[in-house]
Amino acid sequence: MVYGVEAESVLRFGNGFMLNLNALWLDSEIKEGVVADVRSQNYDAGGITSMIDLSGNELPLAPKLTFNARLQHTIELARGTLDWQVLASYRSAYYLTQYNNRDVVFVSDTAGTVDRVEDAATAGFPDRQKAETTLNAGIGFTTLDGHWRFEAWGSNLLDKDISQKALVGSGINVRFLNDARSYGLRVRYQF
């Protein structure tokens, strides 16, 4: 079950300033579902797994709160247009998988005899991404005739490593991270 509210606003100020705001509140819950817990697969016992009840868990990659803000400014100059923008994005904590950091129950035989129980982190499957804020910025200049465009940009300026997705399975725990902090220059000519 998923409920949410989203609000978006564009505020225009004098002298070429503009502020875009977007906020999303999301509540997600798995109502029911018992599945094989592939984190606990035991190949020594023929590949058996324990079962896990996902009822009450949050959906993966569904933060409760997301907030985005973009401040931009455009200035008309004698030789062209100068523009810049700063983008900030906040995502509250969220889970990377449907398991929601629940304990892993390892079984030793097809009868489901419990061998041991480990918390998700000890078992090697932590899946909660803490809340993070990212920051990007850019500045550009377009010549009066519109043929040339010069840009400088910076991405992930706070240099945060954020897990955006996970692939979890029997002995597998692969994380897909955001791009590292980077900077660049671009020059474009339009015929």
State the pLDDT at residue 11.
97
State the pLDDT at residue 74.
96
* Residue 94 dihedral angles phi and psi, to the nearest 5°: -155, 165
Give the pTM: 0.85
State the pLDDT at residue 60.
95
User: Which domain, by its residues, includes 60?
Assistant: 2-189
Closest CA to 170 of 68, 45, 47: 47
State the pLDDT at residue 191.
85
State the pLDDT at residue 108.
84
Strand bridging mode 128-129 / 132-143:
unpaired
- How far, in Å, CA of 48 to CA of 81, rounded? 65
State the pLDDT at residue 6.
97
- How far, in Å, CA of 166 to CA of 176, rounded? 6
State the pLDDT at residue 4.
96
Domain count, the chain: 1
Task: List per-residue pLDDT tens for the chain, 191 residues long.
Answer: 899 999 999 999 989 999 999 999 999 999 999 999 999 988 888 888 999 999 999 999 999 999 999 999 999 999 999 999 999 999 999 999 999 999 999 988 877 788 889 999 898 899 999 999 999 999 999 999 999 999 999 999 999 999 999 888 877 889 899 999 999 999 999 98
